[in-house]
Structure 1
Protein backbone atom coordinates (compact mmCIF):
# COMPACT_ATOMS: atom_id res chain seq x y z
CA UNK A 1 0.00 0.00 0.00
CA UNK A 2 1.42 3.37 -1.00
CA UNK A 3 2.08 6.06 1.57
CA UNK A 4 -0.58 8.36 0.13
CA UNK A 5 -3.20 5.60 0.38
CA UNK A 6 -2.18 5.00 4.00
CA UNK A 7 -2.49 8.72 4.73
CA UNK A 8 -5.98 8.78 3.22
CA UNK A 9 -6.97 5.70 5.19
CA UNK A 10 -5.62 7.26 8.39
CA UNK A 11 -7.62 10.45 7.74
CA UNK A 12 -10.74 8.41 7.11
CA UNK A 13 -10.26 6.37 10.28
CA UNK A 14 -9.55 9.57 12.23
CA UNK A 15 -12.88 11.03 11.07
CA UNK A 16 -14.66 7.85 12.19
CA UNK A 17 -12.81 7.97 15.51
CA UNK A 18 -13.82 11.61 16.05
CA UNK A 19 -17.44 10.70 15.29
CA UNK A 20 -17.29 7.90 17.88
CA UNK A 21 -15.82 10.30 20.43
CA UNK A 22 -18.67 12.74 19.75
CA UNK A 23 -21.17 9.90 20.25
CA UNK A 24 -19.49 9.03 23.54
CA UNK A 25 -19.79 12.63 24.73
CA UNK A 26 -23.46 12.64 23.72
CA UNK A 27 -24.16 9.40 25.60
CA UNK A 28 -22.38 10.75 28.68
CA UNK A 29 -24.48 13.94 28.56
CA UNK A 30 -27.65 11.85 28.28
CA UNK A 31 -26.50 9.69 31.19
CA UNK A 32 -25.92 12.75 33.38
CA UNK A 33 -29.39 14.07 32.49
CA UNK A 34 -31.07 10.76 33.35
CA UNK A 35 -29.12 10.50 36.61
CA UNK A 36 -30.26 14.02 37.56
CA UNK A 37 -33.88 13.06 36.82
CA UNK A 38 -33.45 9.92 38.92
CA UNK A 39 -32.00 11.87 41.86
CA UNK A 40 -34.77 14.47 41.58
CA UNK A 41 -37.49 11.81 41.59
CA UNK A 42 -35.92 9.97 44.53
CA UNK A 43 -35.58 13.20 46.52
CA UNK A 44 -39.18 14.20 45.81
CA UNK A 45 -40.41 10.74 46.83
CA UNK A 46 -38.43 10.93 50.07
CA UNK A 47 -39.91 14.33 50.87
CA UNK A 48 -43.46 13.19 50.06
CA UNK A 49 -43.03 10.05 52.13
CA UNK A 50 -42.87 12.18 55.28
CA UNK A 51 -46.25 13.81 54.58
CA UNK A 52 -49.57 12.32 55.74
CA UNK A 53 -51.62 10.41 53.17
CA UNK A 54 -54.53 12.86 53.10
CA UNK A 55 -52.51 16.01 52.41
CA UNK A 56 -53.10 17.82 49.13
CA UNK A 57 -50.11 17.55 46.80
CA UNK A 58 -49.42 19.18 43.49
CA UNK A 59 -47.74 17.61 40.50
CA UNK A 60 -45.92 19.84 38.04
CA UNK A 61 -46.81 19.22 34.41
CA UNK A 62 -44.91 21.66 32.24
CA UNK A 63 -45.71 25.10 33.63
CA UNK A 64 -48.94 23.98 35.32
CA UNK A 65 -49.56 22.33 38.68
CA UNK A 66 -52.34 19.83 39.27
CA UNK A 67 -53.74 18.80 42.64
CA UNK A 68 -53.52 15.02 42.94
CA UNK A 69 -53.61 12.46 45.74
CA UNK A 70 -50.25 11.62 47.25
CA UNK A 71 -50.54 7.99 46.08
CA UNK A 72 -50.88 9.06 42.44
CA UNK A 73 -47.82 11.24 42.65
CA UNK A 74 -45.81 8.50 44.39
CA UNK A 75 -46.85 6.07 41.64
CA UNK A 76 -45.72 8.53 39.00
CA UNK A 77 -42.37 8.96 40.78
CA UNK A 78 -41.90 5.19 40.99
CA UNK A 79 -42.52 4.90 37.25
CA UNK A 80 -40.01 7.67 36.64
CA UNK A 81 -37.40 5.85 38.74
CA UNK A 82 -38.00 2.55 36.92
CA UNK A 83 -37.83 4.30 33.55
CA UNK A 84 -34.62 6.06 34.51
CA UNK A 85 -33.04 2.80 35.65
CA UNK A 86 -33.87 1.16 32.32
CA UNK A 87 -32.57 4.15 30.40
CA UNK A 88 -29.32 4.10 32.37
CA UNK A 89 -28.82 0.42 31.52
CA UNK A 90 -29.39 1.14 27.82
CA UNK A 91 -27.00 4.08 27.89
CA UNK A 92 -24.33 2.01 29.65
CA UNK A 93 -24.59 -0.74 27.04
CA UNK A 94 -24.45 1.84 24.26
CA UNK A 95 -21.45 3.53 25.83
CA UNK A 96 -19.58 0.23 26.09
CA UNK A 97 -20.25 -0.62 22.44
CA UNK A 98 -19.15 2.81 21.23
CA UNK A 99 -16.03 2.76 23.43
CA UNK A 100 -15.08 -0.67 22.11
CA UNK A 101 -15.51 0.53 18.53
CA UNK A 102 -13.45 3.66 19.24
CA UNK A 103 -10.68 1.55 20.78
CA UNK A 104 -10.52 -0.69 17.73
CA UNK A 105 -10.33 2.38 15.48
CA UNK A 106 -7.55 3.81 17.65
CA UNK A 107 -5.54 0.59 17.38
CA UNK A 108 -6.02 0.53 13.59
CA UNK A 109 -4.82 4.12 13.31
CA UNK A 110 -1.79 3.35 15.50
CA UNK A 111 -0.92 0.31 13.36
CA UNK A 112 -1.09 2.37 10.17
CA UNK A 113 1.01 5.15 11.67
CA UNK A 114 3.54 2.56 12.80
CA UNK A 115 3.63 1.12 9.28
CA UNK A 116 4.27 4.58 7.84
CA UNK A 117 7.23 5.17 10.14
CA UNK A 118 9.03 2.03 8.98
Structure 2
Protein backbone atom coordinates (compact mmCIF):
# COMPACT_ATOMS: atom_id res chain seq x y z
CA UNK A 1 0.00 0.00 0.00
CA UNK A 2 1.14 3.51 -0.73
CA UNK A 3 1.70 5.77 2.21
CA UNK A 4 -1.21 7.82 3.48
CA UNK A 5 0.09 11.20 2.27
CA UNK A 6 0.39 9.94 -1.32
CA UNK A 7 -3.08 8.40 -1.21
CA UNK A 8 -4.54 11.64 0.17
CA UNK A 9 -2.80 13.66 -2.56
CA UNK A 10 -4.15 11.28 -5.19
CA UNK A 11 -7.71 11.58 -3.86
CA UNK A 12 -7.45 15.39 -3.84
CA UNK A 13 -6.11 15.49 -7.39
CA UNK A 14 -8.82 13.09 -8.50
CA UNK A 15 -11.51 15.29 -6.91
CA UNK A 16 -10.08 18.39 -8.61
CA UNK A 17 -10.07 16.58 -11.95
CA UNK A 18 -13.68 15.50 -11.56
CA UNK A 19 -14.75 19.01 -10.55
CA UNK A 20 -12.82 20.67 -13.38
CA UNK A 21 -14.18 18.22 -15.94
CA UNK A 22 -17.73 18.91 -14.77
CA UNK A 23 -17.22 22.66 -14.93
CA UNK A 24 -15.69 22.39 -18.40
CA UNK A 25 -18.63 20.36 -19.69
CA UNK A 26 -21.06 22.87 -18.18
CA UNK A 27 -19.31 25.77 -19.91
CA UNK A 28 -19.33 23.89 -23.23
CA UNK A 29 -23.09 23.29 -22.93
CA UNK A 30 -23.66 26.96 -22.15
CA UNK A 31 -21.58 27.93 -25.18
CA UNK A 32 -23.64 25.64 -27.43
CA UNK A 33 -26.85 27.17 -26.08
CA UNK A 34 -25.59 30.71 -26.68
CA UNK A 35 -24.46 29.76 -30.19
CA UNK A 36 -28.01 28.55 -30.86
CA UNK A 37 -29.46 31.79 -29.48
CA UNK A 38 -27.07 33.78 -31.65
CA UNK A 39 -27.99 31.82 -34.77
CA UNK A 40 -31.73 32.21 -34.10
CA UNK A 41 -31.36 35.97 -33.60
CA UNK A 42 -29.27 36.27 -36.77
CA UNK A 43 -31.75 34.29 -38.88
CA UNK A 44 -34.71 36.23 -37.50
CA UNK A 45 -32.92 39.49 -38.22
CA UNK A 46 -32.21 38.39 -41.81
CA UNK A 47 -35.89 37.53 -42.34
CA UNK A 48 -37.00 40.87 -40.87
CA UNK A 49 -34.64 42.77 -43.17
CA UNK A 50 -36.38 41.27 -46.20
CA UNK A 51 -39.76 42.68 -45.14
CA UNK A 52 -40.90 46.13 -46.19
CA UNK A 53 -41.20 48.74 -43.47
CA UNK A 54 -44.99 48.85 -43.64
CA UNK A 55 -45.42 45.10 -43.02
CA UNK A 56 -47.29 44.15 -39.87
CA UNK A 57 -44.94 42.24 -37.59
CA UNK A 58 -45.86 40.38 -34.43
CA UNK A 59 -43.92 39.46 -31.36
CA UNK A 60 -44.64 36.13 -29.68
CA UNK A 61 -45.27 36.42 -25.94
CA UNK A 62 -46.17 33.07 -24.39
CA UNK A 63 -49.30 32.04 -26.34
CA UNK A 64 -50.11 35.49 -27.62
CA UNK A 65 -48.91 37.53 -30.57
CA UNK A 66 -48.56 41.28 -30.10
CA UNK A 67 -48.36 43.75 -32.98
CA UNK A 68 -44.93 45.41 -32.90
CA UNK A 69 -43.21 47.77 -35.30
CA UNK A 70 -40.56 46.12 -37.45
CA UNK A 71 -37.88 48.45 -36.09
CA UNK A 72 -38.59 47.38 -32.48
CA UNK A 73 -38.30 43.71 -33.41
CA UNK A 74 -35.08 44.34 -35.30
CA UNK A 75 -33.57 46.23 -32.35
CA UNK A 76 -34.55 43.39 -30.03
CA UNK A 77 -32.92 40.78 -32.28
CA UNK A 78 -29.78 42.91 -32.69
CA UNK A 79 -29.54 43.19 -28.90
CA UNK A 80 -29.97 39.42 -28.52
CA UNK A 81 -27.21 38.93 -31.09
CA UNK A 82 -24.84 41.28 -29.22
CA UNK A 83 -25.68 39.72 -25.84
CA UNK A 84 -25.03 36.25 -27.21
CA UNK A 85 -21.68 37.31 -28.67
CA UNK A 86 -20.66 38.88 -25.35
CA UNK A 87 -21.71 35.78 -23.42
CA UNK A 88 -19.85 33.51 -25.85
CA UNK A 89 -16.68 35.57 -25.46
CA UNK A 90 -16.97 35.38 -21.68
CA UNK A 91 -17.62 31.64 -21.77
CA UNK A 92 -14.65 31.15 -24.12
CA UNK A 93 -12.42 32.84 -21.54
CA UNK A 94 -13.82 30.55 -18.85
CA UNK A 95 -13.30 27.53 -21.07
CA UNK A 96 -9.66 28.44 -21.70
CA UNK A 97 -9.08 28.93 -17.96
CA UNK A 98 -10.66 25.55 -17.16
CA UNK A 99 -8.60 23.85 -19.87
CA UNK A 100 -5.43 25.27 -18.29
CA UNK A 101 -6.59 24.03 -14.89
CA UNK A 102 -7.25 20.59 -16.38
CA UNK A 103 -3.76 20.47 -17.89
CA UNK A 104 -2.29 21.46 -14.52
CA UNK A 105 -4.25 18.74 -12.72
CA UNK A 106 -3.14 16.16 -15.29
CA UNK A 107 0.49 17.20 -14.82
CA UNK A 108 0.14 16.96 -11.04
CA UNK A 109 -1.34 13.48 -11.40
CA UNK A 110 1.45 12.41 -13.77
CA UNK A 111 4.11 13.67 -11.34
CA UNK A 112 2.47 11.91 -8.43
CA UNK A 113 2.31 8.62 -10.32
CA UNK A 114 5.95 8.94 -11.39
CA UNK A 115 7.05 9.58 -7.80
CA UNK A 116 5.20 6.57 -6.41
CA UNK A 117 5.25 3.48 -8.65
CA UNK A 118 3.36 1.44 -6.04
CA UNK A 119 0.41 3.82 -6.33
CA UNK A 120 0.51 3.36 -10.11
CA UNK A 121 0.41 -0.43 -9.67
CA UNK A 122 -2.49 -0.16 -7.22
CA UNK A 123 -4.47 2.00 -9.61
CA UNK A 124 -3.75 -0.32 -12.52
CA UNK A 125 -4.82 -3.37 -10.51
CA UNK A 126 -8.08 -1.62 -9.59
CA UNK A 127 -8.95 -0.83 -13.21
CA UNK A 128 -8.32 -4.39 -14.50
Q: Common fold, TM-score beyond 0.5?
A: yes
Per the alignment, residue 31 of structure 1 pairs with: 31
Which segment drifts farther, 54-63 or 13-22?
54-63
Secondary structure at 1:53's aligned position in 2?
Answer: coil
The structure that has the greater radius of gyration is 2
Which 5+ residue runs of structure 1 have no aligned equivalent?
Answer: none
Q: Is the Cα–Cα contact under 8 Å of residues 3 and 116 in structure 1 kept in the other structure?
A: no
State whether structure 2 residue 40 is matched by structure 1 residue 44. no
Counterpart in the other structure of 2:106: 106
Structure 1, residues 3-54: CA drift from partner, whole Å, max 9, x if none? Answer: 2211111111111111000000000000000000000010011111111101
Aligned residues: 117
Aligned equivalents of 1:59, 1:84: Cα separation in 2: 20
Question: 1:55-84 deviations in whole A, cap 9, x for unaligned?
Answer: 111112333321100000000000000100
Aligned to 2:117: 117
Name the counterpart of 2:9: 9
CA RMSD of aligned residues (A): 1.3
- TM-score normalised per structure 2: 0.87
1:89 aligned partner: 89
